[in-house]
Amino acid sequence: FLTTKLLHADIRAGRAAQAIEESFSLLKTDHIDLFLIHWPVEGWQAAWRALEACYGQGRLGAIGVSNFQIHHLEELMQFAQVRPAVNQFECHPYLQQRPLLDYCTAAGIQCEAYSPLGGPTGGVLQDPVIRGLAEKKRRSPAQIALRWQLQRGLVVLPKSVRQERIVSNFQIFDFALTEDEMAQVDALDCGRRYGRDPDHIDF
């Protein structure tokens, strides 16, 4: 499943259509499964129209956005001819994004969680609640955090370059968290963002 994104520099420069074509060329393919707007920077509205045009040609399986807040999505919905299939955003036990998740779910937009483990310095995997559940379930803290996201209805995108961790991250389909265990992780939400704030883009 091939996913790529429109970078902020191309969006700002008004060259979304060219950047899309460059992606096809660089990836050596004539079809991309999912193409996302990476950040809601100036010019994202025109970039969305460029994605819609390519989608209409049947060259993209789906189009979506990344790092869009509710107000960005509300604006998009006012003119979009194609509903975004996906919104990809930072989401983990310390930043649960409940209003955004609820909005997307109601609108039929699939949520994808990046940094679902809080990142390498996030502290999520060292949290006593996560570690306690991991010990109880005989699982890794990462598997607990990922399973929690799956049961919330999110697609999870954990990043790793180590084979053993990549394999471990897939081993979350043969167990489940109980309602009480889910509630324990739910209680960890403190709004702590480790990535960039989509409402204060300074890059």
77-132: per-residue pLDDT in tens?
999 999 999 999 999 999 999 999 999 999 999 999 999 999 777 799 999 999 99
pLDDT band at 67 (very low <50, low <70, confident <90, very high): very high
Give the number of other CB atoms < 10 A from CB of residue 180.
Answer: 7
Question: Has residue 34 got a pLDDT over 80?
Answer: yes
153-180: per-residue pLDDT in tens?
999 999 888 999 999 999 999 999 999 9
Q: For the whole model, what pTM was predicted?
A: 0.94
Contact 91, 102 (CB under 8 A): no
203 or 101, which is more confident = 101
Q: What is the mean pLDDT of the chain?
A: 96
Q: Report in angstroms the alpha-carbon separations of 179 from 148, 151, 168.
A: 10, 10, 23
How large is the greatest C-alpha to C-alpha distance in the chain, in angstroms?
52
